[in-house]
Amino acid sequence: MDLLRTIAYQPGSSGSHSSSSTGSSSRMAEQALGKAAYNGESRRKKAAEPSEHHPHGTTEISRIITDPTTGRRYCRGKVLGKGGFAKCYEMTDLTTNKVYAAKIIPHSRVAKPHQREKIDKEIELHRMLNHRHIVQFYHYFEDKENIYILLEYCSRRSMAHILKARKVLTAPEVRYYLRQIVSGLKYLHEQEILHRDLKLGNFFINDAMELKVGDFGLAARLEPLEHRRRTICGTPNYLSPEVLNKQGHGCESDIWALGCVMYTMLLGRPPFETTNLKETYRCIREAKYSLPSSLLPPAKHLIATMLSKNPEDRPTLDDIVRHDFFLLGFTPERLPASCCHTVPDFNLSSPAKNFFKKAAAALFGGKKEKARYFDTHNRLAKEDEEIYKLRHDLKKTSITQLPIKHRLEEEIQPPSLTVAKPSILTETKQIDAIRMIVRGTLGSCSSSSECLEDSTMGSVADTVARVLRGCLENMPELDNIPKEQLTASFQWVTKWVDYSNKYGFGYQLSDHTVGVLFNNGAHMSLLPDKKTVHYYAELGQCSVFSATEAPEQFISQVTILKYFSHYMEENLMDGGDLPSVMDVRRPRLYLLQWLKSDKALMMLFNDGTFQVNFYHDHTKIIICNQNEEYLLTYINEDRLSTTFRLTTLLVSGCSLELKHRMEYALNMLLQRCN
């Protein structure tokens, strides 16, 4: 039987990535497959006993092994894996000190002609392969007792072990690994070789966190349809319907298995796992599985296409890497070794930089690439419209905000700004003072928003600076935050991405509007319906059009806007607990100016809303105007918010902590104005 085949080198845990993610039916079947377990974690050499009894016979394996043809000597080290027919060992060339993974197969285990034929076939197929993402075949030899196959040593074991430790992987990691699997698999298919046993236990990770496809014990040449093999072989949870129905193996069967792999990486369990093998096979034949709401639409769509019941409906390998799942999300260039056991902490610049390379490729890679992107996007738009409504409930991991590695010992230092000592004023005069500042700047307009909408960038900044300075110069000292706290509805920035070295600055508002202030000064917003675009070529001049029917001159910028939107939606966490409020009566916000210092990010909007995010503790200050009254909201390090009238702070004062942040915010605003 093909199921009872000889083991190939694969650092898997008995062919199952964890007891929780593989059902009992899978474990029993994989034990029948004779898969290897892998316990090696490093290249550290370990002295072994002089000889070892093989579990399947009386043959002893010496610690020092000599190739009878070349005379080269090897030192057998620790066991990396074992199965029904062989064991895999760490083995060191005593001449070069190069470490290999050596599969050692006793002759007694392959005594029958068909058994030896399988080993010879595996060697024949594997030895001709040479690709960065394929486990490298180095050499094989045999002596009187054993056959020795020397393979590339992968010190970080297999994806099965990583998922066992991690339970699930993040979308950026899945893209990282899938790209490498697709690369290796494309090479195999170009050589007209089918793998036929793609699974987590057959993807090995080397010291540099590069993925290698291995275990070619079931690999076969691609045959014409009428001559294809119709035997059932592989791992039960990853078998395709056509294989179960004995219709033959093709490249599409490997694509199906890849869909199962992607599903398992994202959700921690195979899509067709059940409590018994018969039920698993029934679900596979019917292509019956669930797609949880925790998956974003691009991931759902890609999995669904790969797991199409009809092989002809499945995407090609090229289609897979051009899918929105890859185009609309970043892929890290490298992963740290810590990803083997902990969730990665992506830094500020490199993931975003790599991610937006995809935008450049889509925009400037030629007309064909651009047309392909929009064809794909338009095709998915209707299908995903309802699913997109669910994604705001998802839990996300922030990667653009700086990680809190430790609490800073000192407070944020006041900027080099001269602030007058509090003057002795009566409460009435203090309130009148700040109101007079506002009225004197805004004149007779009915609201600050109306006036600022038509004013220049400088006057908006000057207005906010006057209000904030007036409060700081006149409010008294206070040891704590005032008791008065308001419930207010206003828009503020919940997420942001700085990619100004190529495109511009992107942000998401609390009503889920996404905006980009491009490097050329133009601004574009994608409204919460994900269909409508507002374009501001100059302050106050707005053009409105559909995201799917953008004028030709705006196509590039709309594409970048969508990339920003998907990136923030999938990867960033909201910055506080303020409710998301949409008030259609208020003018649409768009960003006028932004500034980053070594401690904070400042953002100024067209209606005078002014926000400063402090990096080290993720605190935020938001100043906005409602009903001709300025409000200040402070979001603390626990992401909890409190809102005050500025007139209240003017009369009562505030804590030194908040005052320092207000002073720093004013200094940033004045620097931008200058």
Condensed to tens digits (0 to 9), the pLDDT of residues 300-338 reads 999 999 999 999 999 999 999 999 899 888 788 889 999
Q: Please state the rounded mean pLDDT for residues 160-168.
A: 94
Triad 251, 255, 256: Cα angle to 5°: 115
Does the pLDDT of residue 393 top 50, yes or no? no
Which residue has better confidence, 627 or 66? 66
Banded model confidence at residue 150, pLDDT cuts 50, 70, 90: very high
* Cα–Cα distance for residue pair 408/346, rounded to 1 Å: 21
E strand spans, 107-174: 137-142, 146-152
- 3-state SS of the chain: helix, strand, coil percent to 5? 35, 20, 45
Does the pLDDT of residue 408 top 80, yes or no? no
Which pLDDT does position 37 carry in this prediction? 30
Q: Please state the rounded mean pLDDT for residues 170-182.
A: 95
Which pLDDT does position 95 carry in this prediction? 93
**Residue 599 burial by Cβ neighbours in a 10 Å radius (0-12, 13-18, 19+):** middle
Which pLDDT does position 357 carry in this prediction? 52
Domain-terminating residue out of 283, 315, 338: 338
| CATH for 664 | 3.30.1120.30
Domain match, 315 and 254 both? yes
Residues 49, 55, 56, 57, CA torsion sign? positive
Number of domains present in the structure of the chain: 3
Which pLDDT does position 18 carry in this prediction? 36
Which pLDDT does position 207 carry in this prediction? 94
- What does each C-alpha distance from 229 to 216, 219, 246, 332 come to in angstroms? 16, 11, 8, 39
Q: Is residue 229 part of a domain?
A: yes
Q: Please state the rounded mean pLDDT for residues 272-294.
A: 90
Residue 312's CB is within 10 A of a number of other CB atoms, namely: 7
Domain-terminating residue out of 151, 182, 198: 151
One-letter-per-residue 3-state SS of 575-628: CCCCCCCCCCCCCCCCEEEEEECCCEEEEEECCCCEEEEECCCCCEEEEEEECC
Domain match, 163 and 298 both? yes
Q: Which of 130, 135, 299, 261 is nearest to 210 (CA)?
A: 135
Domain-terminating residue out of 338, 367, 385: 338
Domain match, 542 and 624 both? yes
Q: Is residue 35 part of a domain?
A: no
Element (DSSP H or E) covering residue 115? helix 113-127
Amino acid letter at 346?
F
Domain match, 519 and 467 both? yes
Highest mean pLDDT among 16-20, 220-224, 557-561: 557-561
Does the pLDDT of residue 61 top 80, yes or no? yes
Beta bridge partners of 535: 524, 543
Q: How far apart are the first and last CA of the chain?
A: 80
Q: Please state the rounded mean pLDDT for residues 405-434.
A: 38
Residues labelled as active-site residues: 197
Which pLDDT does position 58 carry in this prediction? 45
Q: Is residue 346 part of a domain?
A: no
Q: Is residue 6 part of a domain?
A: no
Q: Is residue 271 part of a domain?
A: yes
- What does each C-alpha distance from 629 to 449, 461, 476, 509, 646 come to in angstroms? 11, 17, 20, 21, 8
Torsion of CA 638, 644, 649, 650, to 10 degrees: 150
Q: Is residue 343 part of a domain?
A: no
* Residue tagged 């197969």 (tokens): 105
Domain match, 236 and 332 both? yes
Does the pLDDT of residue 415 top 60, yes or no? no
| CATH for 101 | 3.30.200.20
Lowest-pLDDT range of 262-276, 466-480, 578-592 = 578-592
Adjacency order of strands within the sheet including 493-499: 493-499, 504-509, 514-518, 523-526, 532-538, 541-546
Which residue has better confidence, 218 or 579? 218
Lowest-pLDDT range of 94-98, 160-164, 620-624, 637-641 = 637-641
Number of residues that make up the chain:
674
Which residue has better confidence, 601 or 14? 601
Which residue has better confidence, 233 or 131? 131
- Mean model confidence pLDDT for the chain: 75
Domain match, 107 and 205 both? no
Domain match, 234 and 316 both? yes
Q: Please state the rounded mean pLDDT for residues 42-46.
A: 34
* Cα–Cα distance for residue pair 28/104, rounded to 1 Å: 24
Q: Is 46 annotated as a binding residue?
A: no
Domain match, 204 and 134 both? no
Whether the Cβ atoms of residue 585 and residue 426 lie closer than 8 Å to each other: no
Q: Is residue 34 part of a domain?
A: no
Does the pLDDT of residue 381 top 70, yes or no? no
Does the pLDDT of residue 13 top 90, yes or no? no
Domain match, 542 and 652 both? yes
Banded model confidence at residue 8, pLDDT cuts 50, 70, 90: very low
Domain match, 175 and 100 both? no
Which pLDDT does position 484 carry in this prediction? 65
The reported pTM is: 0.49
Q: Is residue 616 part of a domain?
A: yes
Whether the Cβ atoms of residue 572 and residue 399 lie closer than 8 Å to each other: yes
Residue 290 is encoded by which pair of tokens?
């669930």
Beta bridge partners of 593: 604
Domain match, 79 and 227 both? no
Query: The domain containing residue 121 runs over which residues?
Result: 65-151
| CATH for 286 | 1.10.510.10
Domain match, 146 and 195 both? no
